[in-house]
Amino acid sequence: MSNKRVLITGSSRGIGRAIALYLAPKDYDLILHFNKNKEAAEKTLQEVHALNGTATLLSFDISDREQTQKVLENDMMQNGVYYGVVCNAGIAEDNPFPILESDQWDRVLHTNLDGFYNVLKPIVMPMVENRIHGRIVTISSISGLIGNRGQVNYSAAKAGIIGATKALAVELAKHKITVNCIAPGIIETDMTKDLPIEEIRKIIPARRMGNPKEVASLVDYLLSEDAAYITRQVISVNGGMF
């Protein structure tokens, strides 16, 4: 029997890369999505292979509905329906609301929130029709739970992902497909490298930033058969920030 296929969007760096490397030794056939950074994606692929993992690359823009549907349907037709999907890809374009440009609002919403629909819409019915008791994990943010200064667009998109995740979980529960959301706090990635680290540590009860592996390990559990009775949940990984 072939390994279960798991799609990870935004897997070339940051949390997505950590998820790919954490899952590499497991019995999954990983589909590593990337959009523009092919070099980084190929490096992640090499690292997965070095860990004896099975993986292939898949390129598309999650904000492009037609392209995303075409690529995903073609991949499933050739290689089989997905068991798991980790919706991790996203962008941030921060600015105080009074000077937040309309295109910054649109890009963040189209990528982060529309991406939820664009990726999952072609995937869900094949999972149902093939009676796959699958797993869907979305990645939101602490910004989607409590809001954050200078991130009205990002907070709106990430809060929308939480609502969409909960609603989809209700629809798919009878099909034994779980849908859960992880809301990371301040995690050490490229997106946080320019933040005032010492000041941030003061507001985190754990007094440190999170490691991408700490998010990846939770994804691993939520994908597992042991997590079959966990659905419609939003789980924070934030060092006790709230």
The answer to whether residues 41 and 57 touch, using CB atoms and an 8 Å cutoff, is: yes
When divided into structural domains, the chain yields a total of 1
Torsion of the alpha carbons at 83, 86, 87 and 93, rounded to the nearest 10: -160
Q: Is 205 within a domain?
A: yes
Locate 239 and state its tokens. Answer: 């060092």
In our burial notation (b when 16+ CB lie closer than 10 A, e otherwise), range 49-60 reads: eeeebebebbeb
With tokens 């990430």, the residue in question is 158
The answer to whether residues 169 and 232 touch, using CB atoms and an 8 Å cutoff, is: yes
Q: Is 242 within a domain?
A: no
pLDDT for 2 equals: 66
pLDDT in tens, 129-167: 999 999 999 999 999 999 999 999 999 999 999 999 999
Locate 156 and state its tokens. Answer: 């709106």
pLDDT for 1 equals: 41
For the chain, the average pLDDT equals: 95
DSSP 3-state helix, strand, coil percentages of the chain (rounded to 5)? 50, 15, 35
Q: Is 69 within a domain?
A: yes
pLDDT in tens, 48-75: 999 999 999 999 999 999 999 999 999 9
The answer to whether residues 19 and 215 touch, using CB atoms and an 8 Å cutoff, is: yes
Question: Which pLDDT band, with edges at 50, 70 and 90, does 198 fall under?
Answer: confident
Q: Is 39 within a domain?
A: yes
Cα–Cα distances in Å, from 176 out to 116, 135, 203? 20, 9, 39
- DSSP string over 12-47: SSHHHHHHHHHHTTSSEEEEEEESS-HHHHHHHHHH
Largest CA distance in the chain: 56
Q: Judging by beta carbons within 10 Å of its beta carbon (0-12, 13-18, 19+), is residue 184 exposed, middle or buried?
A: buried
Catalytic option among 22, 83, 154, 229: 154
Identify the H or E element spanning 124.
helix 114-129
Can 154 be counted among the known catalytic residues? yes
Q: Is 41 within a domain?
A: yes
Average pLDDT over residues 171-190: 95
Beta-carbon count within 10 A of 226 CB: 9
Q: Greater confidence, 197 or 55? A: 55
pLDDT in tens, 76-135: 999 999 999 999 999 999 999 999 999 999 999 999 999 999 999 999 999 999 999 999
Residue ranges making up the domain that contains 211? 4-237
Q: Is 134 within a domain?
A: yes
Q: Is 124 within a domain?
A: yes
Q: Is 13 within a domain?
A: yes
CATH of residue 179: 3.40.50.720
